[in-house]
Amino acid sequence: MTPAHRASSTSRRRRLTAAQPATPSPPADVGTEPGNTIPEPTPHQATPGPAPQPQAAATGTRRARRARLTAARINPWSALKTSFLLSVGWGLAEVGLTAALWLALSAAGIFSTVQAAIDQTLGSTSSKLNLMHYVGFSQVLSLSIVIAVATVVLVTAIATAAAGLYNLTASLVGGLNLTLVDD
């Protein structure tokens, strides 16, 4: 712990002890008989009575609470599972969007227009180029699935390696310091 942290935690302890209400003293006639004594509360015991109210609540303004945290380590197994599930979702979305885009282009007549332009450009040759042979629905969807599977494998491997690399650098420099604020 650095000297600055020690000083701030010491002043924080002083503020907390100053904000606690004073313990009430028992009446003069109570506790004078043997066996009828009231023990004095120790500093760690709760004192009877209402809980102390924060000073900010008395003025009508609310202060934001802050918490300083350090991300010192990422579990590689957790990173592998999370990245795998996220990349599978991404891959399914990719395949679904590819199918939707192909169906939209087909419904708009784009493929037939392009095929007509190809036929006009090549003229009447004996070997015609059929566009749907290369960009048919099954070919496009198959290629999209292959790309999605490759993406799942690569993203999972890269995320797991990144978690290991973060753990290595965090052991050297102490990790990532975060400040969380409760508004």
Residues with Cβ < 8 Å from 45, sequence gap 6 or more? none
Rounded Cα distance between 181 and 154, Å, is 35
d(CA 31, CA 39): 9
d(CA 41, CA 112): 90
- The pLDDT, as a whole number, for residue 35 is 55
Phi/psi of residue 126, nearest 5 degrees: -70, -30
Has this prediction a pTM greater than 0.85? Answer: no
Domain boundaries, the chain: 76-173
Ranges in the chain, pLDDT < 70: 1-60, 124-127
The amino acid at 182: D
pLDDT at residue 140, rounded to an integer? 95
Tens digit of pLDDT for each residue in 120-150? 888 766 567 888 889 999 999 999 999 999 9
DSSP string, the chain: --HHHHHHHHHHHHHHHHHSPPPPPPPTTTT-STT--PPPPPTTSPPSSPPPPPHHHHHT--PPEEEEEEE----HHHHHHHHHHHHHHHHHHHHHHHHHHHHHHHHTTHHHHHHHHHHHHH-S-SS---HHHHS-HHHHHHHHHHHHHHHHHHHHHHHHHHHHHHHHHHHHH--EEEEEEE-
The pLDDT value recorded for residue 18 is 46
Task: Specify the pLDDT at position 1.
Answer: 53
pLDDT of residue 137: 94
